[in-house]
Chains A and B, each alone.
Chain A
Amino acid sequence: MTTDAWIASVPPGLFLILAGIALLGLRGQVRNAVVVAAPALLLVWMWVLPEGIGRSFEWFGLELAPVRIDELGRLFGTVFAIAGVGGGLFAVKQERTAELASALIYAGAAIGVVFAGDLITVFVFWEVMAVASTLVVLAGGRGARKAAQRYIVIHLFGGVLLMAGIAGHIGTTGSTAFTLIEGDSPARWLILAGFLLNAAAWPISSWLPDAYPRASWSGMVFLSAFTTKTAVYVLIRSFAGEDILIWLGLIMVFYGIIYAILANDMRRMLAYSIVNQIGYMLVGVGIGTEIALNGAATHAFAHIIYKALLLMSAGAVLYQTGRSKFSELGGLARTMPITAMAAIVGALSITAFPFTSGFIGKSLIAEGASSENLEAVWFLITAASAGAVLYAAKFLWFVFFRRGDAVHAADPPAPMLVAMVAFAAGCLILGVFPQLLDGTLPFAVSYDPYTTPKIVFQFQLLLFAVLAFFLLLRWIRPDETVTLDTDWLWRRAIPRLRAWLESDARRRVWRGVERGVERFRIGLVSLTGPGAVLARSLPTGAMAFWATILLAAYLIFYYL
């Protein structure tokens, strides 16, 4: 075995995980250099590695292939590494080294998943990702503790589903290979459920807007990139063409928009917007044709960049003002012009404005729906494209443009500005030169998003949505509220039910149960106690009793 072969079978993500652990011992500029350089080196590394499946080995009778390099993996690996570099640069002012260390481990685990060739490796990195991301949430401070608890419980539950599914799948097929999973076995549905939980699929989606906004100003940038997009990646790999994903995706698209319109915390609004955008990707995966899958992959790539950009601009506002509620912000474009520009580019991208990165992926997915004659799907995602303008405009208007006197803050320190400018440039470059991704998309499909009718169509759609936003402004105005989501079930309903069971009412219920048990006992005694039927020494009484029972049972079974 040559050294090359050995090094090519070490998961690339492992490198970042080790860098993350090492980071805990570093301070100051050295720490900052490592945070930015480690993902950058990994980016180079994943392009040096040859395509194909690395050395596989056997472990307890299971065939493991921890490294597989191909187009789709590289596409996601590349954008994860870019998110790591940008997020790291944005976070150099973060005082909690534990957050950055967790973020590197988290990024490493996500990259571990995308280059995994077998389901066991996927599972191992999946769980590392769950733990590391919880630590990123936890680094948000005191207010994050309970949300982090809920987050880890839900993700460990997802891990259990996934493990059960993988075990069942290997048991029935005998294969550990991480490829398209077909058939109709319970194991397949369990794997799908485990994956969908991380994709923030409705109705379990509320873990995302619950936990992410509790992270620090820099932490949420990392969180937005990895968990949900890893889920999109594994769905593209294993569940392409699964019809359910279309409808789940559509639910998420609209649920995300409506809750984003209602949200008052700008970062919670952006969290709902993640669900909205993941919905598009799920629709693409569900359609499952080459063009739709390319769309899902392109959109995931673009989304990581522009959502990180939006969260950087929101993070910069939070860092500079200490506020994140729309009702307490306004007018920051004057004093934070670069942050505002970054937010504008991010908002244009998320609404799929032509010549920004979001336009390419959404066009491909819409084209996928149209060419499969999925009429309802096409109309619904087109309506949702207009709908995304509502929350994007809301973000810009209530943070940066409406008259606001309460806060005056300057643009953030240089590293944060550099990260924002670079990602904004990325959004525009990808939008103008979509062919940059051609070589790394899973399928070679020729599609030109920039025809005159398509551009005119998109301009009409988006500008009239902006008109709707301003005409309906008074119905959108944020107030000091939260909107109940499905997490109400486990944050309110279940604790209340438990409290009720432990109260007087519970005692009443228990008394009833105890009385029933007592009656049953008395009944037994009357049969078996001294002098009762079953206790008599002469068996005739007992014989008659058992004969009656048997006859009755016979009758019952006869009629069944």
Chain B
Amino acid sequence: MADREAGTPSGQDNWLRPRAVRLLWVVFAIALALTIVPDFFIEHYDKFGVDGTFGFAAWFGFASCVGLVAVAFLLGRLLKRRDTYYDD
């Protein structure tokens, strides 16, 4: 979760030091795995077929976010202006 360009770290505000970040990633990875594990045991409600497949919500949620960020990024290239644009 490194925010590489967020300015220089100051002495009192360095809770996101590399070790802590690494630990957070490990904990998060375990949490992600834990959400997938139950799919071995439970049967998902599969109204439309694909929504009952293994880990559907995981990959579908991830893919949706990638798609949305891509669209937002491209739209931003087109429509972003300096925030003094309207000047009122």
Contacts and interface: CB of A to CB of B under 8 A. Distances in A.
Interface in A468-518: 468-470, 472-477, 479-485, 491-492
A439 B15 CA distance: 47
Contacts of B31: 463
Interface string A369-389: 010000100110011111101
A452 B82 CA distance: 48
A464 interface: yes
A72 to B, nearest CB: 28
B68 A257 contact: yes
A473 B48 contact: no
A482 B64 contact: no
A403 B82 CA distance: 24
Given A383-B64, A453-B44, A457-B44, A405 B13 contact: yes
B69 A481 contact: no
A262 B74 CA distance: 10
Contacts of A473: 1, 3
A146 interface: yes
A515 B8 CA distance: 69
Nearest to A491: B86
A485 B82 CA distance: 14
Given A404-B6, A482-B80, A482-B83, A464 B47 contact: no
Interface string B20-63: 00000000100110011011001111011001000111111110
A335 to B, nearest CB: 9
Interface in A321-335: 325, 330-331, 334
A464 B80 contact: no
A472 B7 contact: no
B6 A402 contact: yes
A461 B58 contact: yes
A456 interface: yes
A476 B69 contact: yes
Interface in A79-122: none
A548 interface: no
A258 to B, nearest CB: 5
A406 interface: yes
A76 B66 CA distance: 36
A347 B25 CA distance: 21
Contact of A460 (B35, B69, B73, B85): B35
Interface string A52-87: 000000000000000000000000000000000000
A467 interface: yes
Nearest to B15: A334
B72 A370 contact: no
A403 B61 contact: no
A467 B28 contact: yes
Interface string A441-458: 000000000001110111
A464 B32 contact: yes
A261 interface: yes
A468 B57 CA distance: 13
B45 A387 contact: no
Interface string A28-52: 0000000000000000000000000
B80 A262 contact: yes
Nearest to B76: A262
A467 B29 CA distance: 9
A303 to B, nearest CB: 20
Given A146-B88, A261-B72, A386-B65, A457 B57 contact: yes
A262 B10 CA distance: 28
Nearest to A258: B72
Contacts of B28: 463, 466-467
Contacts of A264: 83
A462 interface: yes
B68 A387 contact: yes
Contacts of B58: 460-461, 463-464
21 contacts: A146-B88, A257-B72, A262-B76, A330-B6, A375-B48, A378-B48, A383-B60, A383-B61, A383-B64, A386-B61, A405-B10, A458-B57, A463-B32, A465-B65, A467-B28, A469-B65, A472-B66, A475-B70, A481-B81, A482-B83, A483-B80
Interface of B: 1, 3-10, 13-16, 28, 31-32, 35-36, 38-39, 42-45, 47-48, 51, 55-62, 64-73, 75-76, 79-83, 85-86, 88
Give the top 6 A-B pairs by smallest Cβ distance, nearest first. A468-B65, A386-B61, A383-B64, A460-B57, A461-B61, A461-B57
